[in-house]
């Protein structure tokens, strides 16, 4: 009996973890919110004009990394004027949704 209880408890914890991960961001909402982002981050091998650098394609990137980067741009801890301007008006939910969208792209 104890073995079955532990197995059920483990399954329940797994479901809670899955729901928490899924609830963090809405990929469908993120797709709409990320339209501006796609102009640079949705193009493979895109390079910024000045200063010249490769712009990272974000499809398939870990959602946690994207949220962390957006928060750093918003706070000014990460320096990039264009990204700061874009992130400065984003809510936590906006960041989570955009991150969920890019993570769902699987490197596309």
pTM: 0.74
Torsion of CA 65, 66, 71, 73, to 10 degrees: 110
CATH of region 25-104, choose from 3.40.50.300, 1.10.1040.10, 1.10.760.10, 1.10.40.30? 1.10.760.10
68 φ, ψ to 5°? -60, -45
Task: Give dist(CA 96, CA 75) in Å, integer.
Answer: 16
- 10-residue stretch averages of pLDDT, the chain, 108 residues long: 45 43 81 94 82 87 97 96 95 98 85
Torsion of CA 68, 57, 30, 13, to 10 degrees: -60
């Amino acid at each position: 009996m104890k073995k079955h209880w532990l197995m059920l408890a483990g399954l329940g914890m797994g479901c809670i973890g899955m729901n928490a991960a899924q609830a963090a961001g809405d990929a469908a909402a993120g797709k709409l919110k990320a339209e501006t982002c796609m102009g640079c981050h949705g193009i493979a091998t895109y390079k910024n004009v000045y200063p010249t650098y490769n712009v990272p394609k974000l499809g398939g990137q870990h959602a946690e990394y994207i949220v962390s980067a957006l928060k750093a741009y918003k706070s000014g801890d990460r320096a990039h004027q264009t990204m700061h301007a874009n992130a400065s008006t984003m809510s936590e939910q906006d960041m989570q949704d955009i991150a969920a969208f890019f993570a769902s792209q699987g490197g596309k």
